[in-house]
Amino acid sequence: MDQPTDRPTGVEHGIAGSGGEVRSFAYSDVLTSDEAVALEGLSEKPKSFGRLAWERFLRHRLALIGAIGLVLIALLFIVAPWFSDYAFDERNVRDRLLGPSWDHWFGTDEIGRDLFVRTAQGGRYSLRIGLTVAVLATVFGALMGAIAGYFGGWIDNVVSQLVNLILVVPALIVLSVWALKFGSSANQLSIVLAALLWTRIARVVRGVVFQIKEQEFVMAARAAGASHGRIIVRHVMPNFVGVIAVEITLLLGTAIVLESTLSFLGLGVKPPNASLGTLVADAKGSIDNDPIRVLTPGFFIVLIVLFVNFLGDGLRDALDPKSKAEH
Amino acid sequence: MTALLRVDNLVKEYPIRAGVFRRQIGTVQAVSDVSFELGHQETLGVVGESGCGKTTLGRSLLRLIEPTSGTVMYEDQDVTAASKKEMRSLRRNMQMVFQDPYASLNPRLPIRDIVAEPMRIHGVSKKEAGERVGDLLRRVGLLPEHGNRYPHEFSGGQRQRIGIARSLALRPKVIVLDEPVSALDVSIQAQVLNLLDDIQHEFQLSFIFIAHDLAVVRHASDRIAVMYLGRVAELADRDALYEQPAHPYTHSLLSAVPIADPRRERARKRILLQGDVPSPANPPSGCRFHTRCPLAQDRCVAETPELRDVGSGHQVACHFPIAPGETLLDRVGAMGRTVEIAST
C-alpha cells in the first residue's frame, strides 16, 4: 500500500478491506502509514463486549472443561437419582457394606443405604451451600470494597477495620459455635459462611478500585459531568469483574471445603441428610479395608473445586478486553 | 477584550497528615495565588518543571480538584461557587484533554461509547450521539468505523485523537490541555499539535495548554505563563517571553532549549541553577525562587514579589526584573557574581 508521504487533504485513497474488496473514502487530516494499516479489517461487524468475552471464553479449553464438568456433575446429582430404585434414607439391612455393583453404583453404607443416591444428595447440598455463599459474599464484599475504595476517608477506615476484625476471627471456631448453638440448616450455614468470607473479596475490590479511581478516564468522566453512580457502574465496576470472577470461584471452592470440614466434624448437616463432608466422615472408620467409600465423596469434592478453578481462570481471561491469548 | 475565563488568587493546598489521629502537621501548596485571564480563541501556555503545580492548576479550573480558595469565573459565572447543577451545565463549556493517552480511555468501553459519553450525560439521544460520534472521529482524523474498536487497539497518537474527540463532544468553549503531547513521539506530536490548531479555529476554542516542553508551548501558545513552585513567575505574550524574558527563572529555562542552528547552538550557554526545586511543603520565604536565583538579594528573602506589569501586558513576579536586551549573564557579571554554565 502507498505510504502517504505528504498531507493527503481531501484525496481519495483506496484501502483494501479484510475481505479483499477495495473501500475508498476521503479524509481530511494526516494519517500515517501505520494508522492506515490499522484501518484494515474495519468492515468487520462490530461486536459487543459480551459477545467478545463469550468468544474468548469458548476458546479457553480449560474453562470449557471446567464449565462442562460442573454441568455434568450437577446433572448427575440432580437427575440421576430419579432413575435409582432407592431413596437417600432408605435402609436395607441385608445389603450392608456392599461394594460397587450394577445395583448400587457406589456401594452401600453400614445400614444398607445406597451410597450413590446419598452422594448425589450430599453433592446437591454442598453445591447449594457453595453457590449461596459465593453469591452472597461476592455481592456484599464487592459492594463494601467498592464503596471503601471509591470514597476513601473515614468510610474506608470503617470498612477496613471491620475486614481486619473478621479476618482475625478463626472461621472454623465461629462456625462450630454457631452450629452447636443455633442449628445448622443450609441457609443458616450459608449466611454465616458468607459473613466470614466476604472480607477477601472486599479487600481485593477495594485495592483495585483505589487504583481505578485515580486513572484519568475516571477524571475524564467527572469532567464530562458524570455522577458517582454512573462512574461506579460504567467505569469502575467493569474494570474489576475479571478480578471478581476469579475470586468468586475461589470462594465457591472455599465454601464447599469449609462446609465439608464442618460436616466432617459432625457440626454440619444432620442425619439422615448427607453432605459430601458427612459421607467422608461416616466412612473414615473403614478407610483401611474399604477405601472406596471415603474416596468417592472426596473425589467429588476435589473435582468440583478443580472445575470451579478452571472456570474462574477462563472467566478472568474472557473478561479482559486486552486478552487475545488462545488456550 | 473581555476575558472568557478569569482566574483570581487561586490556591490549592493539600494537608499533610501524620500519626494515629491523622493530625494535620502542615500543608503542601501545590498552587498558590495564581491569577490570569484567558481571552476568546486564545491559547495560554503554562510551563514549568515537574511538580510546579501545572496539572493541579488545570484540574482546579474544572473543579476536578476542589480549589482551597480563589475564584474561577467563566464569563460571568463563578465556577468555584457553582452548585452541582450549575457545574453540570458549566462542564458543557469547559472540557479537558488528559496527559496519558493510555490511562484516559476506559479499556472496557468501545471508542464510540467513550466519545458519546459526555453527550449521553447531557441528555443527547443515543441515535443523535451515535451520529455525532462519527463526525467527531472523522474530524480528528479517524474513521467512524473506529468507533467499534477498543482503546487497546490504538496507538498513543490515535488515542490522544480520541481524547480530543471526546473533549469536543459537548462543543465547549474552553479546553484545558494537560500535557496533550508529552507522551507522544515527536513525529506524532506535530500531527496532534496541527490538529489542535485546526480545531481551535473551526470550533472557536480557547485553550489552556499545559506543557513542560518549551518548544511545544512556543509553537502552540499566544501567551505563556511560567510557573515555579505553585506561583506564576512570568506571564507575557509568546514573543515577548521568548525574546525578552524578564524573570531570571525564565532566562535559565530558555537557556536550556536547544537551537536548531549549529553555529548558534555551539555558542549557547546553558545556565545551571544550583540545587533542586525546594519542597512545596516548605516553600522558601519571600520570592520562592530566591534559593536558586543567581541575582537573589536580601529583599528577595524578605518580601514576596507580586506579579506586576513591566510594559504592554508583560507581567513578572521579580523585584529585579531583567530589562529587554539585557541577559541574565550580563546582570550576574555586573553584580560580580558567577553562575555555573554547562558547555553544550
How far is the C-alpha of A98 from the C-alpha of A114, rounded, in Å? 9
Asked if A29 reaches chain B (Cβ–Cβ under 8 Å), the answer is yes
Is A16 a residue whose pLDDT tops 70? no
The DSSP symbol for B151 reads G
Asked if A215 reaches chain B (Cβ–Cβ under 8 Å), the answer is yes
Cα angle for residues A288, A290, A291 (degrees, 5° grid): 75
Is A11 a residue whose pLDDT tops 60? no
Is A325 a residue whose pLDDT tops 60? no
Model pLDDT, residue A20: 38
- Nearest chain B Cα to A211, which residue? B103
How far is the C-alpha of B229 from the C-alpha of B13, rounded, in Å? 12
Which candidate, B203, B104, B201, places its Cα nearest to that of B160?
A: B104
Asked if A94 reaches chain B (Cβ–Cβ under 8 Å), the answer is no
Which domains can be identified in chain A, with CATH numbers? 1-44 (no CATH), 49-318 (1.10.3720.10)
pLDDT band with cut points at 50, 70 and 90 for residue A15:
very low
How far is the C-alpha of B192 from the C-alpha of A31, rounded, in Å? 11
Kindly list the strands in the beta sheet with B94-97, ordered across the sheet, starting from the edge strand earlier in the chain: B94-97, B174-178, B206-211, B43-47, B223-228, B231-237, B315-316, B308-309
Which of B84, B117, B202 to probe by mutation at the A interface, max A CB count within 10 Å?
B117
- CB-CB neighbors (< 8 A) of A224 in chain B: 91, 95, 117-118, 121-122, 166, 169-170
Distance from CA of A38 to the nearest CA of B (A): 8
Is A22 a residue whose pLDDT tops 70? no
Percent of chain A with pLDDT over 70: 77
DSSP assignments along A142-191, one per residue: HHHHHHHHHH-HHHHHHHHHHHHHHHHS-HHHHHHHHHHHH---HHHHHH
Model pLDDT, residue A4: 44
Residues A38-65, mean pLDDT to the nearest whole number: 71
Is A117 a residue whose pLDDT tops 50? yes
Tell me which residue in B141, B148, B163 faces A31 most closely, judged by beta carbons. B141
Residues A14-41, mean pLDDT to the nearest whole number: 44
pLDDT band with cut points at 50, 70 and 90 for residue A261:
confident
Percent of chain A with pLDDT over 90: 12
Query: B121–A226: do the CB atoms touch at under 8 Å?
Result: yes
How far is the C-alpha of B124 from the C-alpha of A246, rounded, in Å? 37
Query: A224–B88: do the CB atoms touch at under 8 Å?
Result: no
- CB-CB neighbors (< 8 A) of B169 in chain A: 224
Query: B106–A239: do the CB atoms touch at under 8 Å?
Result: yes
- CB-CB neighbors (< 8 A) of B165 in chain A: none
Is A244 a residue whose pLDDT tops 90? no
- CB-CB neighbors (< 8 A) of A41 in chain B: none
How far is the C-alpha of B307 from the C-alpha of B246, rounded, in Å? 12
Asked if A38 reaches chain B (Cβ–Cβ under 8 Å), the answer is yes
Q: Which of residues 120 through 149 in chain B touch A, CB cutoff 8 A?
A: 121-122, 138, 140-141, 143, 145-149
Asked if B180 reaches chain A (Cβ–Cβ under 8 Å), the answer is no
Query: B104–A49: do the CB atoms touch at under 8 Å?
Result: no
Distance from CA of B191 to the nearest CA of A (A): 7
- CB-CB neighbors (< 8 A) of A234 in chain B: 106, 109, 117
Is A28 a residue whose pLDDT tops 60? no
- Nearest chain B Cα to A10, which residue? B141
- How far from the centroid of its chain's Cα atoms is residue A21's Cα? 44
Model pLDDT, residue A112: 67
- Are A70 and A127 in contact by the 8 Å Cβ rule? The answer is no
pLDDT band with cut points at 50, 70 and 90 for residue A98:
low
Query: A219–B87: do the CB atoms touch at under 8 Å?
Result: no
Residues A207-228, mean pLDDT to the nearest whole number: 90
Query: B143–A25: do the CB atoms touch at under 8 Å?
Result: yes
Is A17 a residue whose pLDDT tops 70? no
Query: B117–A225: do the CB atoms touch at under 8 Å?
Result: no
Tell me which residue in B105, B149, B187 faces A217 most closely, judged by beta carbons. B105
Asked if B12 reaches chain A (Cβ–Cβ under 8 Å), the answer is no
- Give the number of other CB atoms < 10 A from CB of residue B233: 28
Model pLDDT, residue A299: 87
Residues A266-289, mean pLDDT to the nearest whole number: 77
Helix (H, G, I), strand (E, B) or coil at B15: strand
Model pLDDT, residue A81: 73
- Nearest chain A Cα to B192, which residue? A30
Tell me which residue in B117, B141, B143 faces A224 most closely, judged by beta carbons. B117
- CB-CB neighbors (< 8 A) of A220 in chain B: 96, 98, 104-105, 163, 166
Tell me which residue in B100, B143, B152 faces A42 most closely, judged by beta carbons. B143
ipTM: 0.85
Listed as ranges, residues in chain B with pLDDT below 50 are none
Model pLDDT, residue A23: 41
- Nearest chain B Cα to A43, which residue? B145
Which of B145, B171, B192 to probe by mutation at the A interface, max A CB count within 10 Å?
B145
Which domains can be identified in chain B, with CATH numbers? 5-221 (3.40.50.300), 245-344 (no CATH)
Query: B148–A35: do the CB atoms touch at under 8 Å?
Result: no
Tell me which residue in A224, A235, A322 faces B91 most closely, judged by beta carbons. A224
Q: Which of residues 298 through 327 in chain A touch B, CB cutoff 8 A?
A: 321-322
Distance from CA of B207 to the nearest CA of A (A): 16
Q: Who has greater pLDDT, A230 or A317? A: A230
How far is the C-alpha of A156 from the C-alpha of A186, rounded, in Å? 32
Is A35 a residue whose pLDDT tops 60? no
What mean pLDDT value characterizes chain A?
Answer: 77
Which of B17, B56, B106, B194 to probe by mutation at the A interface, max A CB count within 10 Å?
B106
Asked if A234 reaches chain B (Cβ–Cβ under 8 Å), the answer is yes
Q: Which of residues 257 through 286 in chain B touch A, CB cutoff 8 A?
A: none
Model pLDDT, residue A41: 53
SS (H, E, C) B257-286: CCCCCHHHHHHCCEEECCCCCCCCCCCCCC
Model pLDDT, residue B247: 93
- Residue-wise pLDDT for A65-78, tens only, equals 999 998 998 888 88
- Are B327 and B254 in contact by the 8 Å Cβ rule? The answer is no
- Are A130 and A307 in contact by the 8 Å Cβ rule? The answer is no
Model pLDDT, residue A104: 67
Query: B118–A225: do the CB atoms touch at under 8 Å?
Result: yes
- Are A199 and A141 in contact by the 8 Å Cβ rule? The answer is yes
How far is the C-alpha of B17 from the C-alpha of B24, rounded, in Å? 4
Distance from CA of A306 to the nearest CA of B (A): 29
- CB-CB neighbors (< 8 A) of A219 in chain B: 59, 64, 96, 98, 104
